[in-house]
Amino acid sequence: MHMAFFLLLGASLARFLLRHPGEARTPWIIALSIALALLYVLGPVLGPALGPAAPGAARPTPRRLVWLSAVVAVWMVLVVLAPSFAWCAVPLFYTGLRTLPPRAALALVTLLTVFVVTAQLQLASGGFDPNLLLAPPAVAAVATAVFLYMQRQDARQRTLIDDLIRTRRELAATERREGTLAERQRLSMEIHDTLAQGLSSQQMLLQAADRTWSTDPDTARRHVRTAESIAERNLAEARRFVHDLAPADLAAGGGLEEALRRLAGRESAAFLVDGTAVALPDRVQSALLRIAQGALANVREHAGAQTTALTLTYLGDQVVLDIADDGRGFAPERGAPDSGVRGHGLPAMRARVQQLGGTLTIESAPGEGAVLSAAIPLEDTP
């Protein structure tokens, strides 16, 4: 629009000089043209235009109002002296619309249109031409309509952008909350399956050692050494847990089968492997080992079982870990008996399996033992 203004101003001055050479008003026309160009250049210096002012919107500054008045005044003088400058009004339409409130801008556009019509009628030769009377108002109307339409589109676009930014912020906040909750769940499961179980075992062993210390010192010392060994494993688990590494039994080598075999040996449980072994993702191995640790801890603390068996079964499209015992059993919908305030083991196991797209099933009844089965698909494992 700025380029159009200077192009029209230069074309109007050139037309005047070509058609009216040597006239007395020529110096004034040149001086006023230069003054109008300089004034127009000062517009951006005085601050950006505001656009049509909505109710409650910011108003143009006094300096900008003075500048716009000066530009319009110089242009009007030029039109009076040389009507060919009338078409410079088209860029001024947009300048007024961008600077003034809607009603004031429409009044200015009307005033400029009147001057354009008057100038065109002065330039007419050969009688009255209706186009000279109707064309300028039509151009002004189209220019105003286009500008207002663009302003509405701009307002809608700004609203959409604001909505998008707000939605992105809300989404980021939601993701942070979900990430925090997921991390808290991970921490709770890791603590329950490692440190809490180990501390519980140490407590039981030390209590047993305290009861037999006077009557059977050798047994008491054996309990203390076992508790020390559990504390050492717990310390290793804690360090790996802090660094988000694999369980210590997996890090010792041999894969999941060896880790389960070592775990079963410590818990005096049988361990069987069924099917053709396949390579399992690290996440699946860690989850199954943690589930086995939690399940065996529950058996040791609550079941009172004589025998316990772990079975790892490869079924081609899934791997299944079964933990069976002949203990006192329980009603699965009520949770493990004598669990007190703990009760986090089964939900933690279920959460681990669900994260990998698997299922956890429990078959038990009071007095009939229990079988816990964790099945994890091997295809498209998250």
Which position has the higher pLDDT, 191 or 255? Answer: 255
Q: Is the pLDDT of residue 317 over 90?
A: no
Coil, helix or strand at residue 273: strand
> Residue 109: which domain range?
2-123
Rounded mean pLDDT of the chain? 81
Q: What does residue 244 show for φ and ψ, rounded to 5 degrees? A: 55, 45
Which of 360, 296, 300, 298 is CA-nearest to residue 323?
Answer: 296
Place of tokens 């991970």: 186
pLDDT at res. 50: 47
Which of 357, 329, 335, 337 is CA-nearest to residue 347?
Answer: 335
Number of structural domains in the chain: 2
Instruction: Summarize the confidence of residues 149-178 as an average pLDDT.
Output: 87
Structure confidence by residue, pLDDT tens digits, 286-314: 889 888 888 888 888 788 888 999 999 99
3-state SS, one letter per residue, for 183-194: HHHHHHHHHHHH
The CATH number of the domain holding residue 264 is 3.30.565.10
Which position has the higher pLDDT, 104 or 194? Answer: 104
Q: Is the pLDDT of residue 152 over 60?
A: yes
pLDDT at res. 342: 45
CB environment 151-165: b (16+ within 10 A), e (fewer)? beeeeeeeeeeeeee
In a domain, residue 346? The reply is yes
Tell me the sheet residues that pair with 363. 371
Q: How far apart are CA 233 and CA 230, in angstroms?
A: 5
- State the pTM of this model: 0.43
Instruction: Summarize the confidence of residues 32-59 as an average pLDDT.
Output: 67
Residue at a domain's end among 123, 150, 165: 123
3-state SS, one letter per residue, for 215-267: CCHHHHHHHHHHHHHHHHHHHHHHHHHHCCCCCHHHHCCCHHHHHHHHHHHHC
Q: In what order do the strands lie in the sheet with 359-364?
A: 270-274, 308-314, 318-325, 370-377, 359-364
Residue at a domain's end among 94, 123, 152: 123
Residue at a domain's end among 74, 89, 123: 123
Structure confidence by residue, pLDDT tens digits, 353-367: 888 889 999 988 888
Whole-number percent of the chain with pLDDT over 70:
85
In a domain, residue 90? The reply is yes
In a domain, residue 218? The reply is no
Q: Which of 33-42, 260-269, 338-347 has the lowest mean pLDDT?
A: 338-347
pLDDT at res. 313: 92
In a domain, residue 194? The reply is no
Instruction: Summarize the confidence of residues 333-337 as an average pLDDT.
Output: 55
Q: Is the pLDDT of residue 193 over 50?
A: yes
In a domain, residue 304? The reply is yes
Q: How far apart are CA 359 and CA 287, in angstroms?
A: 12
DSSP tag of 175:
H
pLDDT at res. 54: 41
Instruction: Summarize the confidence of residues 105-129 as an average pLDDT.
Output: 79
In a domain, residue 54? The reply is yes
pLDDT at res. 340: 41
Highest mean pLDDT among 60-64, 186-190, 251-255, 326-330: 326-330
In a domain, residue 12? The reply is yes
In a domain, residue 190? The reply is no
Whole-number percent of the chain with pLDDT over 90:
12
Q: Is the pLDDT of residue 322 over 90?
A: yes
